[in-house]
Amino acid sequence: MITSNSFADKLDQERWFKYFLIAPAVFIILLIGLYPFVKLILVSFQNITMFDNELSYQGFIHYERLFDDDRLWESILHTIIFTAVALPIELILGFLLALLFLERIPYKQVFVGIILLPTVISPIVAGATWKLMFDQRFGPINQVIAWFAGHEVKLLWNIEPALVWPAIMVAEVWQWTPFMFLILLAALSNVDREQLEAAQIDGASWWMTFRKIVLPAIMPVMFIALLIRGLDLFRVFDVVWTMTKGGPGTMTETISIYAYHMAFREFDVSYSAAIAFLIILILTVIVVAALRRMEVSR
């Protein structure tokens, strides 16, 4: 009896011991993940403005404000358009580059390393650099265009409404296409060689081989890459901030920039919390929908 008791005790001890071991990790996750989220929701129901100590419950006033805020919906529209344009460009350029690198190229690793450099740079630095590149007087972009045009050009990349989005887009695509390239290169290199050879012998065209064999094979990886980049693009901040600060006017204001503006310029903390919650909601819907699609495609 004694032995069986001590055995049960030991089991019990072991059971508690494993919880004890994971407790610190759970605690940290709760601290950095769950606590800010809960706090955010709480703040969004208060009316913190940094000017008084009022912390009382205010109901849904900030959420109601969301619906009447044209500037907010415009910034969301900017964000969506920005994502919808930049993502396919990065995907296609990255894919073409990856196709190129499937061929035998001498010193391939070196070239891959060089191509990857932009992703290593901090986005703030990249944005600041591109701002200088696009400078209307000193920037090399205008200079290069001048060579082709044959006369001096004074394109106002950071101010002209028609040029400011393309300039940001160039910076963004320049920095993050290599990410797509790397992931797609890895995926493409893993496509079974014998399947491609079998398709060659079967007489399949490049397009048929791509559609029936290559694309399904790289789809899961490509999907993850699109998801990661899509989320990144949706919350884009650094590049836009350094290049235009959302201007001219609110022309290039993305949702992140608007939330930042409301929180740290207007000090409308509770309202910006409501905006942040809206962003979380949108992203959650996208991620859940994406993951569900992936399950289906599996």
What's the distance, CA 98 to chain centroid? 21
Q: Is 205 in the site for other proteins (CB under 8 A)?
A: yes
Interface region with other proteins, contact rule CB under 8 A, candidates 3-11, 29-37, 212-220, 231-239? 212-220
Contact at 8 Å (CB) between 283 and 234? yes
Nearest distance from C-beta of residue 209 to other proteins, angstroms: 9
Q: Is 10 in the site for other proteins (CB under 8 A)?
A: no
Q: State how far the Cα of 41 lies from the Cα of 283, in Å rounded to an integer.
A: 16
Q: Is 192 in the site for other proteins (CB under 8 A)?
A: yes
Interface region with other proteins, contact rule CB under 8 A, candidates 82-90, 103-111, 173-181, 192-200? 192-200
Candidates 115, 213, 221, 282; binder of other proteins (CB under 8 A) is 213
Candidates 59, 106, 203, 249; binder of other proteins (CB under 8 A) is 203
Compare residues 68 and 103 and give the one whose CB is closer to other proteins. Answer: 103
Q: State how far the Cα of 252 lies from the Cα of 79, in Å rounded to an integer.
A: 9
Q: Is 102 in the site for other proteins (CB under 8 A)?
A: no
Q: Is 198 in the site for other proteins (CB under 8 A)?
A: yes
Candidates 10, 39, 108, 212; binder of other proteins (CB under 8 A) is 212
Q: State how far the Cα of 9 lies from the Cα of 19, in Å rounded to an integer.
A: 16
Coil, strand or helix: which one is 165? helix
Q: State how far the Cα of 254 lies from the Cα of 75, in Å rounded to an integer.
A: 5
Q: State how far the Cα of 134 lies from the Cα of 74, in Å rounded to an integer.
A: 25
Compare residues 52 and 194 and give the one whose CB is closer to other proteins. Answer: 194
Q: Is 197 in the site for other proteins (CB under 8 A)?
A: yes
Cβ count near 131 (within 10 Å): 19
Q: Is 293 in the site for other proteins (CB under 8 A)?
A: no
Compare residues 70 and 202 and give the one whose CB is closer to other proteins. Answer: 202
Residues 6+ apart with CB under 8 A from 244: 158, 164, 168, 251, 252
95-128 as b/e: b if 16+ CB within 10 A: bebbeebeeeeeeeeeebeebeebbeeebeebbb
Q: Is 217 in the site for other proteins (CB under 8 A)?
A: yes
Candidates 70, 194, 249, 296; binder of other proteins (CB under 8 A) is 194
**Contact footprint for other proteins (CB under 8 A):** 192, 194-195, 197-205, 208, 212-213, 216-217
